């Protein structure tokens, strides 16, 4: 388990707000997608993160993954986005 996923698990165990927004209206899922953290993104999606939320630049997490060249993660997030 990476330090990111360990922190995520600790937050989820404490019932943290999964779609909390930062000052750019980005969520933890945006952050994970932008950095290509697939395991973290999958865990967030599995815990109910909203894949359709847009940040202040109108990007969804799937858009962030695509912009940074994470093709597999883009497919996963865009598929989930279509469901939500």
Determine the Cα–Cα distance for residues 60 and 65; give it in Å rounded to an integer.
Answer: 9
Two structure tokens written together for 83: 């469901």
Other residues' Cβ atoms within 10 Å of the Cβ of residue 23: 6
Confidence at residue 8, expressed as pLDDT on a 0 to 100 scale: 83
pLDDT digits (tens, 9 = 90+) for 16-58: 899 999 999 999 999 999 999 999 999 999 999 999 999 999 9
Q: For domain 3-83, give the CATH superfamily.
A: Ankyrin repeat-containing domain (1.25.40.20)
Determine the Cα–Cα distance for residues 20 and 28; give it in Å rounded to an integer.
Answer: 8
CA distances from 75 to 1, 2, 21, 46, 64 (A): 24, 23, 23, 15, 12
pLDDT digits (tens, 9 = 90+) for 10-26: 888 888 899 999 999 99
Confidence at residue 62, expressed as pLDDT on a 0 to 100 scale: 97
């Amino acid at each position: 388990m990476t330090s990111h996923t360990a922190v995520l698990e600790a937050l989820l165990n404490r019932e943290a707000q999964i779609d909390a927004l930062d000052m750019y209206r980005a969520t933890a899922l945006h952050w994970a997608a932008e950095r290509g953290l697939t395991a973290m993104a999958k865990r967030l999606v599995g815990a109910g993160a909203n894949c359709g939320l847009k940040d202040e630049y109108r990007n969804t997490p799937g858009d962030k993954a695509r912009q940074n060249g994470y093709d597999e993660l883009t497919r996963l997030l865009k598929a989930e986005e279509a469901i939500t």
